[in-house]
Chain A
Amino acid sequence: MNDSNDGLTGFRIRIPPEIEAIPYARLILRWALPVIDDTTTALYYGAVTEVATNAIAAHGEAEASEPIEFQVHSAVGRQSIEVRDHGTGFDPLDVDRSTDGESGFGLNIARAVCPNLVIKSSSSGTSVLLPFPQSPSL
């Protein structure tokens, strides 16, 4: 599918907001994106999994039944996965400020292994862009 909005090619996957759907999305994404080494694969798709899990939790809290969306942006030498949800959003700075050791645990892992991720959040949902690694082991 062409994504004419940003001049890139790419495609989109929509999954029900259920944890059990994440491995299927991950499998499709791995087929579609370039092969990378095992360590980088595990860390990058682990980060995607953290973000997707948070998206599903956000849908649960908002009682939103819409699908979670994975948008793959693809251009030569520049790919990324964007995860979008329809939750009520959050303040990324709250995650930074969290001191209870659990809030934002997954997102902090994602940021540690994928430091260039971009979070956009509002009261109508959140999108997290995870640039595809250009070099081994992130």
Chain B
Amino acid sequence: MSRRSVQRFDVTTETSSASNTVALVLRGEFDSSVVATFDAAASAVGALAPDQVTVDLEAVTMMDSAAIGALMRLRKAVITVGNNFVLLAPQQFQQRLFAVTGLSHIIQGANQD
């Protein structure tokens, strides 16, 4: 990420009818100013009634606590109805953020709670 190439926040919804899964692929800076954009995409996922929801943060270049809160709300909504939630957060800063908030366990590959 260059300081001269800040990408606008964007959410792409990818569906797989074969596996009945939905993936939300996020890009750019995910902060309180764009949480409403994420929430709108997350709400639309519920209407698709998938067995699994994946959120991919690989192309997210910055996050704040409002973003983490939004992810946790979606995770709770998915898990509450008995479906699977997968969070892909491969970047070092993301893993550090989830670690300092005590939420490392929700990242794919971590121990489940």
Interface residues of A (CB under 8 A from B): 19-20, 22-23, 26-27, 30-31, 35, 38-39, 41-43, 45-46, 49-50, 53, 105-106, 108-109, 112-113, 137
* A23 close to B33 (CB less than 8 A): yes
Q: Is the CB of B31 within 8 A of A23?
A: yes
Do B91 and A42 touch across chains, with their CB atoms under 8 A apart?
A: yes
Number of B residues with CB within 8 Å of any CB on chain A:
23
The one of B6, B31, B93, B100 that contacts A38, using a Cβ cutoff of 8 Å: B93
**B64→A27 contact, CB < 8 A:** no
Interchain CB contact under 8 A, B31 and A43: no
Query: Which chain B residue lies CB-closest to A105?
Result: B65
Contact partners of A43 in chain B: CB under 8 A:
93, 96-97
Between A and B, 29 residue pairs with Cβ closer than 8 Å are A19-B32, A22-B33, A26-B6, A26-B29, A27-B6, A31-B4, A39-B91, A39-B92, A39-B93, A41-B3, A42-B62, A42-B91, A46-B62, A46-B63, A46-B93, A46-B97, A49-B64, A53-B31, A53-B64, A53-B66, A105-B65, A105-B69, A105-B101, A108-B100, A109-B64, A109-B65, A109-B97, A112-B100, A137-B96
B-chain residues with CB within 8 Å of residue A108 when the two chains form the complex: 100
In the complex, the number of residue pairs spanning A and B with C-beta atoms less than 8 Å apart equals 75
* Distance between Cα atoms of A85 and B23 in the complex (Å): 39
Does any Cβ of A come within 8 Å of B1's Cβ? yes
Q: Which residues of B42-63 are within 8 A (CB) of A?
A: 61-63
Secondary structure dominating the interface of A = helix
A74 → chain B closest CB, angstroms: 16
With A and B bound together, what is the CA distance between A106 and B63 in angstroms? 11
Q: Chain A's nearest CB lies how many Å from the CB of B10? A: 13
Cβ–Cβ < 8 Å partners of B97 in chain A = 43, 46, 109, 113
A38 touches B61 (CB 8 A): yes
Partner of A137, one of B4, B31, B92: B92
On whether the beta carbons of B65 and A42 are closer than 8 Å, the reply is no
Q: Which residue of A lies closest to B69 (CB)?
A: A105
- Check if B92 sits within 8 Å of A35, measured CB to CB: no
Q: Which of A45, A106, A109, A137 contacts B62 (CB 8 A)?
A: A45
